[in-house]
Amino acid sequence: MSELQTPPVPRRNMELLLLLLALFVSLAAYYLVGLNTDVGFDQDFLVQGGILAGLALMVHVSLRIWAKYADPVILPSVVALNGIGLAMIHRIDISKGSTVAFRQLLWTGVAIVVAIVVLWAIRDHRTLGKFTYIALLVSVVLLLLPMVPGLGHEVYGARIWIKIGSMTFQPGEIAKITLAIFFAGYLSSNRDLILMAGRKIGPLQLPRARDLAPMIVAWLVSIGVLVMQRDLGSSILLFGLFLVIIYVATGRISWIVIGMVFVTVGGIFAYQTMAHVTRRIDGWLNAFDPNVYYAKYGSAQIVEGLFGLANGGLLGTGLGNGRPGDVPLANSDMIIASLGEELGLIGLSAIVLLYVILVSRGLRAALGARDTFGKLLATGLSFTLALQCFVVIGGVTRLIPLTGLTTPFMAAGGSSLLANWIIVALLLMISHNARRPIAVNPSATGEVATAAPGKNRLRKGAKA
């Protein structure tokens, strides 16, 4: 039975069509905000809309030049999320008289330019695998920077920022990328050793004590972030990232079991000894208790967000017609509640669906990657986006304790925006290398020998 094979096609024209649709949605959201508020149709709409469209098209052109086989859905999904986030931040600016949207637009420009530089500078993601331990060192430095006296900056009890002049930056956002590179590089090199060694007890294949070292390092890093920086969200994110990568690398449920034991021990320790973690848990369990509601760093933010979501109902109040500004940090940590109030359950579901599409396309790139490092890196980066969305939306809807993580691409915050656009650039690069036709070198060995189907697959003179 013959196998039908079709050559890979760039699909950049499809991306352009989807990109225009994403820009239309973003600009329509911005336009509706103007119509439903006293601002009306102003010049900001043309300026900010034009800048966003220009930046998005810059990435599209870059992909045509350097990564023409990249996934055509990732970029439009991100632009739609970024554009809707800008419109909502602009809407909250109107109610509060602030100018956060303009700063967010500037950071969008910086993040997109950096993403283009990543696409240009790192044509092959396997290059990053050569810097495994350097990535670990960079991660440690980035995570420790907020603890440096005179440089670190504390906001709402969490010391996760550095401040230079009037500019603040959260280095932990970049650290999640470098840690993903380290985990992917380490496990792609030591996967066979970890798989072969160990003792089997019942259905579980337990690793040797020395093979637990990376798990212990990941756990200590997470606990260190929790203790020194008081950042519960980043702690969950970093340990979850490692747990998923090691599970994908080994395929063994025993690592999940061991990881959950570590999480349980760390969680109980943190709840009993760290006041900020105790407050988070109490605020989650007893959100409507007046003593908790009115306490410093209490549950007022959660409760106000829930009332906002309830006010939006199924269809929402309409962009510009709600009162999202009543919720503390409405344009950053609680932007999901703001969107839920004005777009309703249906609009919020559409946004969640965009995230699902983005993550699924990232995982598709991981499946198509021809090397283990690429598979693990794409999986880790995609899972980072998914876990961050789950932690944020779960916290706002009181499914889990509220943490300080931001909604990717939508919440106000330059460092988060920059890190997530770099993640997108890496996913686009991995998907390009996964889909592009390559010439098979018969002498090549290792993981990259598998070629994509296509007319360029066979070298001239080679036997079919």
Of 444 and 209, more confident: 209
Q: Is the pLDDT of residue 281 over 50?
A: yes
Q: Is the pLDDT of residue 207 over 90?
A: no
Of 274 and 362, more confident: 362
Q: Give the separation between CA 25 and CA 88, rounded to whole angstroms.
A: 13
pLDDT tens-digit series, residues 41-86: 677 778 888 899 999 999 999 999 999 999 999 999 999 999 999 9
At residue 249, the pLDDT reads 85
Q: Averaged over 171-195, what is the pLDDT?
A: 86
Q: Residue 408 burial by CB count (10 A; 0-12/13-18/19+): exposed, middle or buried?
A: buried
Cβ neighbours of residue 231 under 8 Å, at least 6 residues apart?
158, 160, 172, 225, 403, 404
Greatest mean pLDDT among 151-155, 209-213, 444-448, 449-453 lies in 151-155
* Number of CB atoms found within 10 A of residue 279's CB: 18
Instruction: Report pTM.
Output: 0.89
List alpha helices for 229-295, DSSP H.
232-250, 253-273, 275-285, 290-293
Sheet of 152-155, strand order: 152-155, 158-164, 167-169
From residue 356, alpha-carbon distances to 3, 33, 126, 389, 448 in Å are 31, 26, 26, 10, 29
pLDDT tens-digit series, residues 112-124: 999 999 999 988 8
Residues linked to residue 168 through DSSP beta bridges, in sequence order? 163
Q: Give the separation between CA 250 and CA 97, rounded to whole angstroms.
A: 52
Q: Is the pLDDT of residue 464 over 80?
A: no
Q: Say if CB 292 and CB 298 are below 8 A apart.
A: yes
List alpha helices for 36-99, DSSP H.
43-66, 74-96
| DSSP-derived secondary structure letter, 326 | G
Q: Give the separation between CA 316 and CA 325, rounded to whole angstroms.
A: 15
Q: Averaged over 295-312, what is the pLDDT?
A: 89
Q: Say which range, 112-116, 152-156, 168-172, 455-459, has the weakest mean pLDDT.
A: 455-459
